[in-house]
Amino acid sequence: MTQPQSLFCLIFPGFQILDLTGPLAMFAAANRLSGQSLYALRTVAPEAGPVLSSAGLIVQADLSAADAIHRIGVDATLLVAGGEEAGMRAALRDDSLKGLVSAAFDRADRLASVCSGSFFLAASGRLTGCRITTHWQSAGRLQRLHPDVEVDADAIHVRDGRVWTSAGVTAGIDLALAMIEADHGRQLALDVARQNVVQRVRAGGQGQYAADLVDPTCDDDRLTRLAQAIRAKPDRDWSVETMCEVMAVSPRTLSRLCRSEAGLSPAVLVERVRLDAARHLLVSTRRRIDAIARQSGFGTHQRMDRSFMRRLGVSPRDFRARFASPLTEETVS
């Protein structure tokens, strides 16, 4: 009989309910479908008892963080949920939660986070050089707060050694399935996915869900003006010379501003703005894909296909199938 792995799920007032219930449902299904107690599931909060989620639902925490510190061992996983901003701020200041995360780094087999739960792991100061992910809306802020950590803004989930992190909300389900596969094999993970009507491995990265691949506002007004100019005419020839002319800067300054403000090269900045334009046209119109490729600045549908696959992990056709409304405008050739 397999010894159950202890899985402690850390929550706090204002936590995101799906960050908890999504992964828990996968682990509970693994127990049920295997006919074994593979995972011993416990919820942890600053204090044991009722914890109000951001959705207004109340979850009963089994253990206080102070109690959980003494129960975390080498067979344990600590999974940290994310939540709404005010709750996160308060939780990040809580000494008992800091102590629990520190104890997990010292003794646990695995540490994991869903969505903005990654901020707890990064705040420990124990992730220098580690690659992690979080919700696409929070990736920039996480990277700015912790420049010693590599934040992958596109990944659905990331494993770096014994640290596992996932993107926002439902990505916790993907994370749990990956853990089940690592612990007990692909077949059980597939059975759990089928039982819960989800994909074992989601196609593409979280960039396909982001509202904008380039932040429409930057601290430097010159780069904001450039991004706005590219958005207005994505099919223009956006050479380095053209961008420098719009910004009234040298090529060296252009490269420095793109790197410091957006974390991108000038060429990648243009590509991502064009991807944003193409994504909008794919979901809001029924225009032909080759026409969208021309209008968004890619020139040919082959070039747009390559860019979509490289940056988003899906083709334009698949992206449209997933996200387009049935009530879009008629086809324009």
**184 lies in the same domain as 230:** no
pLDDT of residue 14: 98
pLDDT tens by residue, 129-185: 999 999 988 988 999 899 999 998 888 899 999 999 999 889 999 999 999 999 999
Looking at the structure, tell me whether residues 184 and 62 fall in a common domain: yes
115 and 168 both lie in a single domain: yes
Domain termination residue (choose one: 184, 208, 232): 208
pTM metric for this prediction:
0.73
pLDDT at 191 (0 to 100): 94
Assign 214 a pLDDT band (cuts: 50, 70, 90): low
pLDDT in tens, 66-115: 999 999 999 999 999 999 999 999 999 999 999 999 999 999 999 999 99
Residue 140: predicted pLDDT: 86
Residues 220 and 139 occupy one common structural domain: no
Q: Are 62 and 183 members of one domain?
A: yes
154 and 126 together in one domain: yes
Quick one: 318 and 273 in the same domain? Answer: yes
Q: Which ranges in 209-288 belong to alpha helices (H)?
A: 221-232, 240-247, 251-257, 266-284
Assess whether 50 and 126 both reside in one domain. Answer: yes
Mean pLDDT of the chain: 90
Q: Would you place residue 323 in the very low, low, confident or very high pLDDT band (cuts 50, 70, 90)?
A: confident
**Together in a domain, 60 and 138:** yes
Domain boundary among 193, 208, 223: 208
How would residue 5 be classed by pLDDT, with cut points 50, 70 and 90?
very high
Residue 8's contacts (CB-CB under 8 Å, 6 or more residues apart) are 42, 43, 44, 63, 68, 71, 72, 76, 77, 78, 79, 104
- 329 within some domain: no
Alpha-carbon distances, residue 98 vs 85, 108, 321 (angstroms): 17, 15, 44
Judge if 182 and 226 occupy the same domain.
no
Same domain, 59 and 185: yes
pLDDT over 60 at 330, yes or no: no
Closest CA to 270 of 238, 305, 296: 238
Q: Which of 208, 227, 243 is the last residue of a domain?
A: 208
Query: Which residue segment(s) compose the domain that 19 sits in?
Result: 5-208
d(CA 106, CA 124): 11
Higher pLDDT, 332 or 167: 167
Does one domain contain both 279 and 194? no
Q: Do 332 and 314 form a contact (C-beta atoms < 8 A)? A: no
Task: Kindly report the CATH number assigned to the domain that includes residue 267.
Answer: 1.10.10.60
* 325 pLDDT above the threshold of 70: no
Answer yes or no: is 328 within a domain. no
**Total structural domains within the chain:** 2
Q: Alpha-carbon distance 208 to 330, whole Å?
A: 23
Is pLDDT above 50 for 332? no
pLDDT-derived band at 222, boundaries 50, 70, 90: confident
> Residue 24 and residue 15: Cα distance in Å, rounded?
15
Q: Which CATH number is 137's domain given?
A: 3.40.50.880
The reply to whether 333 falls in a domain is no
